[in-house]
Amino acid sequence: MPAKGVELAVTADVVIAGGGVIGTAIAWRAAQAGLDVTLVDPERGDAASLVAAGMLAPVSEALFGEGALLRVNLLAVARFGLFAAELEEAAGHQVGLRREGTLAVAYDPGDYAALVRLTAFRRSAGLDAEELDSRACRKLESFLTPDVHGGVLFAADWSVDNRRYTAALRAAAARAGVRVVRDRVTEVLTRDDGAAGGRVAGVRLADGGDIGADRVVVAAGCWTGTITGVPASARAAVRPVKGQLLRLRHPRGMPPVITHTIRATVRGADVYLVPRADGEVVVGATSEERGPDRTVTAGAVHDLLRDAMSVLPVTSELELAETCAGLRPGTPDNGPVVGEAGPDGLLLATGHYRNGILMSPVTADAIAARLAGQAAAPEWEPFAPGRFDTEGVR
Ligand SMILES: Cc1cc2nc3c(=O)[nH]c(=O)nc-3n(C[C@H](O)[C@H](O)[C@H](O)COP(=O)(O)OP(=O)(O)OC[C@H]3O[C@@H](n4cnc5c(N)ncnc54)[C@H](O)[C@@H]3O)c2cc1C
């Protein structure tokens, strides 16, 4: 049961629960706006933000039935460049932003037919796509196998090195004066001020201490549901979706094997390969409904490598540097959960599922606007936390 009628000394303007890319970007922005910010995160090293591939890919991620998500993702990629430039300045190091686009390739005629259908849908949504035959694909990426049937270039997609980006956000937040508490929030505390649902009083920590604040932002990714005091419908709506992923290190002296992000469909299975400045190639990812399990399995590693090598045989010469698994914060409609959620003073910024790196700057803008008493961009309207109340998600 949430503690009611709590009176705490106010020790921060805002407490943020969760220090992945979402919570840290919000913390940085709020501190820049002059708020006194405390960020609470146990830093167990299992944040999805550190596992992710870092694609900023609204176009090649656009799927049937996700129009509202596409609009917020387009807003996000349009914002990313300026945000990243400001972040690099604030943190004093680069985040590895790349603007080469995504080359989607199809391995066989069946894969190609599916890609053509998706491309027609993306074009109908006003997105740029250039169809390429096998030879034109290999002109862009010379290590692709000649067996590739054909492809499509989605030039508006970008990518970022998510680990460098997360580190930069942490450095910028620290420089802006954000206080970090290494603990876990167990509960959002409220006090009774006569309003229905009460008003936020602060948070309770796993070590038993409390932090007083008038505003609390829950940005705990797939762990949002573990925090008492978050509305039950929102807690139930966010679930972990497991993704396994590999990092292939590039031997010294060998030229980079790809420059674009490559998304391949190989006999119906999807795999992506994302390049980094140092030649590393990130290969991902599975999508599994297994609750909080983060085991890396032999089968997933095998399948990802098999499909990657089918389209880019040279990957077999790279060093298998890392295998990992992370938990995407998924929701019933695949959209994020951003905005006010009763009690007064509680904001949620969670459920970013497969696009949280991409959406982190615009989420930070939206929450910073609300903390300043202003409206967020209209693209956020479909993603209010209250939408799950009416859908009866429990
Ligand atoms: C395999 C994989 C590939 C992906 N690829 C991409 C991609 O290419 N592009 C893209 O945009 N997105 C991608 N994503 C999705 C992206 O990683 C997530 O949407 C994003 O990282 C979510 O950020 P977050 O800050 O909400 O959550 P997280 O990064 O999971 O951070 C949540 C934080 O909350 C903390 N926490 C948990 N419980 C508590 C508590 N009770 N109190 C305080 N803190 C708490 C955790 O310690 C953690 O640090 C990928 C994800 C996976 C798994």
Per-residue pLDDT tens digits for 80-133: 999 999 999 999 999 999 999 999 999 999 999 999 999 999 999 999 999 999
- pLDDT for 45 beyond 90: no
Which own/partner contact pairs does 43-47 have at CB distance under 8 Å and 24+ positions apart? Answer: 43/19, 43/182, 46/294, 46/326, 46/327, 47/19, 47/20, 47/166, 47/221, 47/326
Kindly indicate the confidence band of residue 390, based on its pLDDT and cuts at 50, 70 and 90: low
Instruction: With a cut of 90, say whether residue 271 has pLDDT above it.
Output: yes
pLDDT at 393 over 50: no
Ligand 1 binding pocket includes 205 (Cβ within 6 Å): no
Averaged pLDDT, 147-161 = 97
Least confident segment among 2-6, 51-55, 219-223, 253-257: 2-6
- Which structural domains are found in the chain, ordered by start? 10-50+164-238+333-390 (3.50.50.60), 102-155+240-328 (3.30.9.10)
Ligand 1 atom at minimal distance to the Cα of residue 274: 8
Q: How many A from CA of 345 to the centre of ligand 1?
A: 23
Residue of 246, 253, 259, 250 whose CA lies nearest to 278: 250
- Residue 354 alpha carbon to ligand 1 centre in Å: 9
- Give residue 219 CA to ligand 1 midpoint distance, Å: 9
Quick one: pLDDT at residue 10? 61
pLDDT of 6 above 70: no
Mean pLDDT of 138-158: 97
Neighbours of 65 (CB within 10 A): 9
Output the CA 94–ligand 1 centroid distance in Å: 21
* Mean of pLDDT values over 210-225: 97
* Cβ(31)–Cβ(178) below 8 Å: yes
| pLDDT over 80 at 47, yes or no | yes
In DSSP terms, 132 is beta-bridged to 151
pLDDT band at 4 (very low <50, low <70, confident <90, very high): low
Tell whether the model's pLDDT for residue 394 goes beyond 60: no
Reading the block at residue 192, the tokens are: 């009774």
With cut-offs at 50, 70 and 90, classify the pLDDT of residue 2: very low
Structure tokens at 331: 């929701």
pTM (predicted TM-score): 0.96
Residue % of the chain over a pLDDT of 70? 95
Q: State whether the beta carbon of 18 lies less than 6 angstroms from ligand 1.
A: yes
Cβ 283 under 6 angstroms from ligand 1? no
Binding site membership of 31 for ligand 1 (Cβ less than 6 Å):
no
Distance of alpha carbon 36 from alpha carbon 30, whole angstroms: 8
